[in-house]
Amino acid sequence: MRTTQGCGPGEYEQGATPVIRATYTTIPDQGDTEGVLFDPTSITVTTKSPSGVLTDYTTPVPEITSTETGYWDFTFPDPLTEIGKWVVTFVGGGASKSVWFTIVKAAVYV
């Protein structure tokens, strides 16, 4: 069995282009404190906008990249302008993980 952990919840200002990371590891064996990092054969990332629009991305696409074994980043293709709660779900290797973050109105300096 395999698991994935996501990171990225928080707040970003309107116009940001967040990068969300998932870490893929096997489930630890008895006595192990951590699993072994691995790369799934395929990864699908689904984004859900505050208005409910779902968008799927499946490897190989430029929005999903691996920095090293087991670490996968999703970069939004465009700056996010819709204010509210966004949800990003990674699916791969028989596991899924969702994270969320909020886009807030950008501060305007005059």
CA 93/CA 91 separation, integer angstroms: 7
Q: What class is the 2-104 domain?
A: mainly beta
Most confident of the ranges 31-45, 49-63, 93-107: 49-63
Span 62-104, pLDDT tens digits = 999 998 999 999 999 999 999 999 999 999 887 788 888 888 8
CA 23/CA 26 separation, integer angstroms: 10
Sequence ranges of the domains in the chain = 2-104
CA 83/CA 96 separation, integer angstroms: 25
Provide the percentage of residues in the chain whose pLDDT is more than 90.
51
Give the strand pairing for 11-13 and 95-104.
Answer: parallel
In this predicted structure, the answer to whether residue 8 has a pLDDT above a threshold of 50 is no
CA 52/CA 89 separation, integer angstroms: 14
